[in-house]
Structure 1
Amino acid sequence: MPATTSPEPALHAIRLEKRDHIAFITLARPQEGNPVDARLIAELADACEAIEPDPEVRVVLVSAGDAPHFCLGWDWRWLQADEGLDWGSLSRAFEPLAQLPRPVVCAVAGQCLSAGLELALACDVRICAEDARFALPETGLGLIPLAGGTQRLARAVGRSWASYLVLTGQEIGAREALGMGLVSSVVARGELMTRAEELCRSIARRGPIAVRYAKEAVQRGCEMPLEQALRYETDLTIILQTTHDRAEGVRAFLEKRPPHFTGT
């Protein structure tokens, strides 16, 4: 698939590029620390809306490219200046990303703080560079995390670690994040984007319907009692039996060749 850049929507806080079955969402204001403000939230929603109907996109990669830091968090000046701000809406700031049916990989380098960490938590898989630093410092400001941090962090690393990080605001490094399960791998800074793209290509080579259903099974199943979640997994498995991709996967295995999945 040739590289394309979505002409719509017009984006400034982020960049959207589609290449080789991967949609690249890149935070694009590194000189400001990639602040989370109304523009970034709106553009992220627009980017997700542009990705959703595109059958060529099989996986999404969120990063800050080669910027020194992934995201320093909220634009506090915006939050303080916007007298009409719906604070309740901030909890849904990253829902368009979290609800994408395709897998979303996040590559983090440098500081990933406050809303930056909440953005990363809205992704399915996180990898980071050795210099990555993570924190939710809001309690030190008399607040709690505003965009799902308390809930998604607990689901990612468990109640105990989430409580520790939220209550203390403690900043942790890459190896600590790996140990608690916040990230799946730690790589050298210069290798981060290469490794992230390799991971995305690996996912994109797999059956796209199966990958979407697998994400759905994990995501929704975690919110269900185990017995109900197992039934849900079975239901998705039964649906997959009717797809062309499932038949192609079996044929390719028997013929000892790579499968050619079409997403049908």
Structure 2
Amino acid sequence: MAATGTAGTVEVTVHGRVAELVLCREAKLNALSTHLETRLLEALRSPAVRDSRAVVVTGGARVFSAGADTTELREMTPEAIAAYYRSSGAVYEALAALPQPTVAAVAGHCLGGGFELALAADFRIADDSAGFALPEVGIGILPSSGGVTRLVRAIGPARTRDLVLRGRRVAAAEAYAWGLVTEAVPRGAHLKRARELAAELAGQPPLAVALTKQVIGAAAEAPRETGLLLEQLAYAALHRTDNS
């Protein structure tokens, strides 16, 4: 097991073929400041992640993330906000775009930007202390790092309205019932289970995984005929490829 640090806010650890990223701002409930987002973006682009076959993202034992540090964004001009989405704010799409499977291990608060970060992962493992919410509308803004878009695709517009417009918090069991969470596990078991799942996924042929992730992502939005064509083209690309 090897470990590296990124300015004390994200710890990167390698377990075999799995890279594990830990948000390390527990005193602030892992609030996603631009500094923390930048460090996480650097971690996602690091050799440890690039060379891995699966990635786990977690906030540790007690909290995933209480959300974006809105005090930073409140004073920004529209031009500065646009620049933010091109810089540290790109971290959510960077996680979603990784070719290898990603697993969010969630305990405690998973709110606002923290929830959006978890939604950007392929799998979410939550223990029974986890609570999910997007409270942005209540303070006069809206989720803007993929939360609305990903929720609509995951649970449909009706439930998205229920969560986003009311800012309602849902526990792990309800999130599992809605399909927001891949597995709900007993308290304290989220990281162990996420590591097990990541190790299983890391054993799959990486090119097949990467192409399948792309096909699934495209099929969620593409017409049926386009989805079928993408499947066939991806199969043809893999058919004679050394993909172990």
TM-score by length of 2: 0.92
Q: Of 106, 114, 117, which residue of structure 1 is paired with 2:115?
A: 117
5+ residue gaps, structure 2: none
Deviation at 1:83, TM superposition (A): 5.4
Matches of 1:25 and 1:173 in 2, distance apart?
24
One-letter amino acid of the counterpart of residue 59, structure 1: A
Aligned pair in 2 of structure 1 residues 187, 227: CA closer, same or farther (>3 Å)?
same
Matches of 1:135 and 1:210 in 2, distance apart?
34
Matches of 1:161 and 1:53 in 2, distance apart?
34
Kept in 1, the 8 Å contact 2:9–2:39? The answer is yes
Matches of 1:181 and 1:84 in 2, distance apart?
35
For CA contacts below 8 A with separation 6 or more, give which structure has more relative contact order. 2
1:62 maps to what in 2?
57
2:71 maps to what in 1?
77
One-letter amino acid of the counterpart of residue 189, structure 2: E
2:57 partner SS: strand
Aligned pair in 2 of structure 1 residues 167, 51: CA closer, same or farther (>3 Å)?
farther
Deviation at 1:80, TM superposition (A): 2.6
1:167 maps to what in 2?
165
Residues 188-246 of structure 1: per-residue CA shift (max 9 Å, x gap): 1222111111101111111111111111111122221111011001111111111223x
Kept in 2, the 8 Å contact 1:58–1:102? The answer is yes
1:17 maps to what in 2?
13
Matches of 1:85 and 1:52 in 2, distance apart?
34
Deviation at 1:12, TM superposition (A): 2.4
1:187 maps to what in 2?
185
Number of aligned residue pairs: give it.
Answer: 240
User: Which of structures 1 and 2 has the bigger CA Rg?
Assistant: 1
Structure 1 residue 227 corresponds to structure 2 residue 222: no
Deviation at 1:146, TM superposition (A): 2.4
Deviation at 1:131, TM superposition (A): 1.2
Q: Identity rate of aligned residues, in percent?
A: 34
Structure 1 residue 31 corresponds to structure 2 residue 32: no
Deviation at 1:6, TM superposition (A): 4.2
One-letter amino acid of the counterpart of residue 221, structure 1: A
One-letter amino acid of the counterpart of residue 86, structure 1: A
2:238 maps to what in 1?
240
1:244 partner SS: coil
Aligned pair in 2 of structure 1 residues 26, 52: CA closer, same or farther (>3 Å)?
closer
Matches of 1:151 and 1:52 in 2, distance apart?
29
2:50 partner SS: coil
Kept in 2, the 8 Å contact 1:79–1:85? The answer is no
Structure 1 residue 150 corresponds to structure 2 residue 144: no
Residues 150-202 of structure 1: per-residue CA shift (max 9 Å, x gap): 11111122222112111111111111101111001100122211111110111
Deviation at 1:87, TM superposition (A): 2.2
Which range is displaced more, 130-139 or 214-223? 214-223
Q: CA RMSD in A?
A: 1.9
Which range is displaced more, 205-214 or 106-115? 205-214
Aligned pair in 2 of structure 1 residues 190, 4: CA closer, same or farther (>3 Å)?
same
Deviation at 1:77, TM superposition (A): 2.0
Aligned pair in 2 of structure 1 residues 226, 52: CA closer, same or farther (>3 Å)?
farther
2:126 maps to what in 1?
128
TM-score by length of 1: 0.85
Aligned pair in 2 of structure 1 residues 83, 228: CA closer, same or farther (>3 Å)?
closer
